[in-house]
Amino acid sequence: MNDLSSDSPNVNKSNEEWRAQLTEQQYHVTRENGTEAPFTGEYLNNHEKGKYMCVNCGHTLFDSKNKFDSGTGWPSFDQPSQKNGVERRVDDSHGIERTEVICSNCGAHLGHVFADGPRETTCERFCINSAALKFGSE
């Protein structure tokens, strides 16, 4: 699998094409680096088995077996489903340095990753907006 750069994603669409494909909230979150309000996302309390894919391009991002309840108000995962499925980049947009998570296939903003996840696994918490995801059950 190639390590794709967010500067040259596999899926390259204009803002107009993204707007036509996505809801207003999906566009705001994934193309404008927005976030949904905590405890409001469609997948926060989803406990079905399956895969979480990018709402923009369908790229598989996370597996339900890696989802956990972090109590933060957003779906949380301890790792992506594939090594190069997501990319990380520095985000200092709110005066603090965080690590942004983006889809490696289309460059969509997904959320952020923090070092306060489950100690028994990766110690990482991928805090992901439901608006950036679509779910497929097994």
- Segment 26-39, tens digit of pLDDT: 999 999 999 999 99
pLDDT at 12 over 80: yes
Catalytic residue check, 123 = no
Over residues 69-98, the pLDDT tens digits come to 999 999 999 999 998 899 999 998 878 899
**In Å, how far are 10, 19, 31, 43, 112 from 14, measured between CA atoms?**
13, 9, 11, 27, 24
* Residue 65 DSSP SS3: helix
All structural domains of the chain: 15-137 (2.170.150.20)
Q: What is the pLDDT of residues 118-134, one digit of tens each?
A: 999 999 999 999 999 99
The answer to whether 94 touches 35, Cβ cutoff 8 Å, is no
Count of CB atoms within 10 A of residue 28's CB? Answer: 17
**For the chain, what percent of residues have pLDDT higher than 90?**
85
Burial of 20 (0-12, 13-18, 19+ CB in 10 A): exposed
Compute the residue count for the chain.
Answer: 138
Give this prediction's pTM. Answer: 0.89
Q: What is the pLDDT of residue 32?
A: 96
Q: Which amino acid is at 73?
A: G
36-50 pLDDT, tens digit each: 999 999 999 999 999
Residues 15, 114: Cα–Cα separation, whole Å: 29
* pLDDT tops 60 at residue 1: no
pLDDT level of residue 3 (50, 70, 90 thresholds): very low
Bridge partner residues of 47 (DSSP): none
Q: Rounded distance, CA 136 to CA 46, Å?
A: 11
